[in-house]
Amino acid sequence: MSRIKGFGGIREINRRIKGSDVIVDNRDALATELINLGTSQITDILTWNDQGEVKVKASADIPDHALSAIKRIRVLPGNGIEVEMIDKVRVLQTLAKSAGLLDREQNANRPAVVEIQMLGPEGEPKIKKKGKIK
C-alpha cells in the first residue's frame, strides 16, 4: 500500500486507530482528569494573609487534583518558592471543545460575499494609434 501524505503506511493508520480506541475506552477518566485540572486553584496549594505572608500548605492538605495541576516548583534563594501551575485556559478550551461549546458555524470559514461596483468616467476611452488609452 502506498503512503498517504501525513498518515504513513497501514501500520501507522492502525496505530492511530488503536490509540483513539484507548482514548474512547477511557473517556470518562480523561474527562474527570481534565475537569479536575480546570478547576484547580492556587488557593488549593498556597495560603496568604493580609500582611502578604505566603505559606505553602502541607502536602497532605493539598488535594490530588491540585497536585496534578502543578507544572513546576522552584525553590528560590532566601527561602522563597515559586509554584507554576498548568495552562488552565488550554485545559478549559479542550473541555469546551469536547463538550461542543466551541463548534464553529458551518459558514464561519467561508468568505463573505461583497459586491463592489466600480464606475469610471462618463463616455468611452479614446484609443491612440499606438494602443494607449487617452
Give me the tens of pLDDT residue by residue for the chain, a chain 134 residues long: 455 555 556 666 666 666 667 667 777 888 888 888 888 999 999 999 999 888 889 989 999 999 999 999 999 898 888 889 999 888 888 888 877 777 665 555 666 666 666 666 665 555 555 545 55
3-class secondary-structure state, position 54: strand
Q: How far is CA 11 from the centre of its chain?
A: 29
Q: What is the DSSP string of 2-36?
A: PPBTTTBSHHHHHHHHHHHHHHHHTHHHHHHHHHH
Quote the pLDDT of residue 106: 57
Classify the C-alpha dihedral 5-8-14-15 as positive or negative.
Answer: negative
Quote the pLDDT of residue 109: 65
Q: Which run of H or E residues covers position 96?
A: helix 88-98
Phi-psi region of 52 (alpha: psi -120 to 50; beta: other; left: phi over 0): left
Quote the pLDDT of residue 13: 66
Is the pTM of the predicted complex or chain greater than 0.75?
no
Quote the pLDDT of residue 61: 94
Quote the pLDDT of residue 27: 78
Q: Which run of H or E residues covers position 71?
A: strand 70-76
Instruction: List the chain domain ranges.
Output: 28-98
Separation of first and last alpha carbons in the chain: 64
